[in-house]
Chain A
Amino acid sequence: MSLPLLTSVVLIYLFIVGHLTVKAYKETKSASDFMVAGRQIHPFVMAMSYGATFISTSAIVGFGGAAAVFGMSLLWLTFLTIFVGIFIAFVFFGRRTRIMGLNINAHTFPEFLGLRFQSRGIQGCTGFLIFLAMPLYASVVLMGGAKFIAQILSIDYNIALFFLTIVIAIYVIMGGLKGVMYTDAFQGTIMFAGMIILLFITYAKLGGVVAAHEKLTAMKDIAIKVFGAKGHTGWTSFPEFGSPFWLIVVTTIIMGVGIGVLAQPQLIVRFMTVKSNRELNRAVLIGGIFIMVAVGVSFIIGPLSNVFFYYENQSTLGKISIVAANKNVAEIIPMYIKHAMPQWFTAIFMITLLSAAMSTLSSQFHVMGTSLGRDIYEKALGKSGNSLIITKVGIFFAIIVSYFLAWGLPYFFEGGTAIIARGTAIFFGICAAAFLPMYFGAIYFKGITKAGAYGGFITGTLVSIFWLFFIHIKESKPLMICKTLFGVDSLAAGTKWTIVDPLVIALPASIVATIIFNFMGKKPEESHMEKCFHNIG
C-alpha cells in the first residue's frame, strides 16, 4: 500500500470532516440544536444521515465477513433493511414520531417515551438501558474500523484501535446532532460511491454478474464439505431448514437486525429532526437507494470473495475466505480489499470505512451522552445543572467504555465467531424486545398505559439478558456465569435452543407482557392523549 497516497486521501477527508464539524459547532447555539438539530434538517441530509448511521463498519466488515461464511442468504437482510428499516420505519413510524415528538416537545427517544407515558421512570430506565447496552454495539463498530486499518497498514490491531478512537472522540465531542448530521451526509455520499466502485470492480474481475455467481455456485461442494454438517448448502443457496446455520442466519442475522432496526434510538431521533412529513417522504426515496447499495454490496462481495481467494489470488489458492483469513471473520473483507483491489481504491475504501465508522459512532455516542445527561441526570434524577456539559461527559465516558470493550472482546470469543455481526445483532435484538412494543403502542394506541409500557420493557430486557447469559451458547459460554452457577455452558445444552437468538423469545414475551400489564394500569388522561395525538391520524 502506498503510504503517501493513503495519507493524502485520509488527510483531505479529515480536513473536510473537520471543516463541517467546526461549521456545525458554530451553528449549534441551543440544546435543541444539539439534540434534534433545530428540527430544520434537509431531507437529503436526513436520509443520508439515517443511512450512514444505520450502516457502519459492522455492516460492511462484520456482516460482509459473515456473508463470506453463510453466503448470499443474507440478501434477505438487505430486503428487510430496505422494506422494514426504510419504508415501514419512515412511513408508519417516522411520521407519527415526528408529529408526536413536536406535540410533546421531546428531544431524545427516552424523553419521547417518558413524556408520552408521563413517566420520568420510563425515561430514566430507557436511557439507562441505552447507556448500558449501546457500548457493545459501538465497540464492534470500532473493531470493524480498526481491523481494516490494521490489515491495510500492516500494524497491530490495538494501535489502530487507539488512534481511530482518538480521531472519533475529538470530532464527536465537538459537534452535537447538527454537526453529526452534516458530516453523516458527506460520509454517506462517500460510502455510497465507495460501495458502487467495489461492486463494479469485483464483478469485472470475476467475469461479470452471472459468471461470478456461477463460479460461486460451482463451489457448492467445497461449502458442503467444510460446513455441510451445520447445514450449509452452498454460497448461492439458503442453508438447510432448521439446521444450526439456518437458525443463525434467520433468527440472529436476518430477524435480529431486520426487526431491531425499528427500535433503534439513534435512528428514531432522526425522525424528529425534520420540519414536515414531506421531508420524510423524500427521504424514503433517497434512503431506499442508499441502503440497497450500502448493505446489498457487502452481502454480495462477501460470498464472492470465496471465488477470488480460491481461484484468483496466488497466495491463497485453494483456500476459501474463512481459511484464507485464518478463521477470523472480521479479517475477510479487509483482506479482500487489500489483495483484490487496486491501490487507489484501497485509499478510497479506507475513507469509506472511516466514514461508516465515524457516522455510526458519532450518533451512538451522541445518543449515549444525551441518555446520561438529559434522560437520566436531568429528567429521571431531577437534577438541575448544565445538561450540555453532562451530555459531553456522558459521551466521553461512553467512548472510554466502548474502547475497552473493543480491546477486550476479541480475547473472549473464539476465532471463528462473527463477533462484529453478532454484537450488532445482540444490541438490535435487545432494543427490539425492550422498546418496540411500547414504542409502537405509544404512537398507535391511545389506550396503552404506563403499566403496559413498563411490563413490556422489563420483560423484554430480562428475557433477553437471561437468554444471553444462560441459553444462547455463543455468549453464555465465554461469559461463564452459567458454568459457574450451574456447571454447564448453557441450560439448554445439547438442544437447538442454544442457537436460537434471544429476540425470537424476548420480543413475543415483551408483546404479551405489554398486553397483560396494560389491563392493570390506569388509563391515560384524555387531555394528554389529545395533546400527544394532535394532527395525527
Chain B
Amino acid sequence: MLGLEGIAVPLGFILTIASTIMCIVYGILNWNKGYVSDEEICLEQKWKIEEEKVQETL
C-alpha cells in the first residue's frame, strides 16, 4: 500500500491518519462542551473559601 511493504508499516500509517481524524471528530463534537462561566468560577471560589472555613471550624 502506498509503496510501503508488509503489514506493520502501512498499518502504522493508517493508524496515524485514523487517530488524527479521531482527534478532529472529537474536537468538533465537543467544541462547546465543558465550558465553565465566570459566574460558576466565582461560585467555585466561594465554595472553596467556605470549605476552608468549615475545615478550620472542625
Contacts and interface: CB of A to CB of B under 8 A. Distances in A.
A280 B24 CA distance: 13
Given A210-B3, A275-B36, A289 B9 contact: no
B57 interface: no
Nearest to A102: B44
A91 B26 contact: yes
Nearest to A216: B3
Nearest to B31: A282
B9 A82 contact: no
A78 interface: yes
A38 to B, nearest CB: 12
Nearest to B22: A87
A276 B36 contact: yes
Interface in B2-21: 2-6, 8-9, 12-13, 15-17, 19-20
Given A277-B33, A280-B34, A214 B24 contact: no
A285 B28 contact: yes
A280 B26 CA distance: 11
Nearest to A84: B19
Nearest to B40: A276
A206 B19 CA distance: 27
Q: Provide the main secondary structure of the chain B interface.
A: helix
Given A83-B19, A87-B19, A276-B36, A75 B24 contact: no
B54 to A, nearest CB: 9
Given A209-B2, A209-B3, A236 B9 contact: yes
B56 to A, nearest CB: 12
A79 B16 contact: yes
A76 B27 contact: no
Contact of A276 (B13, B15, B35): B35
Contacts of B5: 217, 220, 233-234, 236-237
Contacts of A73: 8-9, 12
Interface string A276-295: 11101111111111001000
Contacts of B48: 103
A209 B35 CA distance: 42
Interface string A91-126: 100010000001100000000000000000000000
A102 B51 CA distance: 14
A76 B7 CA distance: 12
Contacts of A531: 51
B42 interface: no
Nearest to B27: A285
Nearest to B3: A213
Given A87-B22, A237-B8, A285-B28, A278 B35 contact: yes
Contact of A289 (B13, B23, B51, B58): B23
A154 interface: no
A213 B28 CA distance: 33
Given A278-B32, A285-B23, 11 more contacts: A71-B9, A73-B8, A83-B22, A87-B23, A211-B3, A213-B3, A233-B6, A282-B31, A285-B26, A288-B22, A531-B51
